[in-house]
């Protein structure tokens, strides 16, 4: 399988994706628990709703980095 995203960040992108995305969601969950005065249910619901936007943001970042890398090759 040839995926241009695997070459991003010096080849570390697949590893970073598996580490940073769950870390972001865990930190967001902890923040929401603090904001909601300890309500785990509310924090879990809002963290679940944030999963889609986080993945979309990550995909947009990958597309931007791939286009930037392609522009550097053309110059």
pLDDT at 48: 93
Paired tokens of 44:
């879990």
Contact 10, 69 (CB under 8 A): no
Nearest to 20 by CA among 57, 71, 67: 57
pLDDT on residue 45? 94
Q: What is the pLDDT of residue 54?
A: 86
**Mean pLDDT over the full length of the chain:** 84
Tokens of 31: 């923040």
Q: What is the mean pLDDT of residues 7-27?
A: 81
The structural domains of the chain, with segments of one domain joined by +, span 8-74
């Amino acid at each position: 399988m040839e995926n241009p995203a695997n070459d991003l960040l010096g080849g570390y992108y697949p590893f970073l994706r598996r580490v940073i995305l769950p870390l972001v969601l865990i930190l967001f969950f902890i923040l929401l628990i603090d904001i909601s005065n300890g309500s785990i249910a509310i924090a879990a619901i809002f963290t679940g709703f944030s999963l889609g936007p986080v993945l979309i943001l990550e995909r947009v970042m990958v597309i931007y980095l791939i286009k930037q890398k392609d522009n550097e090759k053309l110059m």
